[in-house]
Amino acid sequence: MTKVFTFLLFLLMITHVACDGSNDSGQEIKKEEEQEQEQELEKGVDIPFAEYSLEGTSCQWVNLGFDECDQNNILVISSDEVLETYIEGTDYPTIDFSKQTLLLAYGLECYRNTPDSVSLQQVSEDNYLMTVNLRPRMTAADLEWEVAIVIDKLGAECKVELNITNK
């Protein structure tokens, strides 16, 4: 009887250790998945967008405050009232601000002023990076540039940083 009891106790201990090991590996898998998600955000997740243009309208961008060369800025516009302060004219394309946000990047550049490409990445839960590649020019003219994109609605706590490149 003692041998049977010892054998059962031994089986119970093995079962307990096996169960604890499977819980640890399950937790390790979850931790690995969380780390992969964090690493993905650190690299940046591409965010889809639609370009927003005033071409073909009688409108133009105004009140952008171009002060000096190589000064660039980005506006996060979340309402028609705010958008109207930066557009002169009335036949501009409409945006559904209940579902969308407009990002307007602009600047005054020496030697670079024609936007060549744009990308937007989410780099953390509330932080985004908009990268604008400006094509180099051969003349030393200070010219204004603007790029506007429409994305899914951003929360009020979200921040968007502007990165200018010239590849």
- Print pLDDT tens along the chain (167 aa): 555 555 555 555 555 545 554 455 556 665 665 555 444 445 689 999 999 999 999 999 998 876 666 578 999 999 999 999 999 999 999 999 999 999 999 988 766 567 889 999 999 999 999 999 988 766 666 678 899 999 999 999 999 999 988 77
Give yes or no: residues 39 and 52 share one domain. no
- Given a contact cutoff of 8 angstroms between Cβ atoms, the answer to whether 150 and 50 are in contact is yes
Separation CA 164–CA 129 (nearest Å): 10
Cα three-residue angle 97-92-88, rounded to 5 degrees: 105
User: What is the per-residue pLDDT for 113?
Assistant: 65
User: What is the per-residue pLDDT for 85?
Assistant: 95
Give yes or no: residues 30 and 52 share one domain. no
CA distances for 22 relative to 28, 34, 156, angstroms = 10, 18, 42
User: What is the per-residue pLDDT for 26?
Assistant: 55
Give yes or no: residues 26 and 64 share one domain. no
User: What is the per-residue pLDDT for 141?
Assistant: 67
- Cβ neighbour number for residue 86 with a 10 Å cutoff: 19
- Given a contact cutoff of 8 angstroms between Cβ atoms, the answer to whether 109 and 141 are in contact is no
Number of compact structural domains in the chain: 2
111: helix, strand or coil: coil
Give yes or no: residues 30 and 58 share one domain. no
Instruction: Give me the domain span that covers residue 23.
Output: 2-43
User: What is the per-residue pLDDT for 61?
Assistant: 93
Q: Give me the DSSP letters along 37-78.
A: HHHHHHH-EE---EEE--TTSS-EE------STTEEEEEEE-
pTM score, two decimals? 0.71
Return the percent helix, strand and coil in the chain, to nearest 5: 30, 40, 30
User: What is the per-residue pLDDT for 41?
Assistant: 45
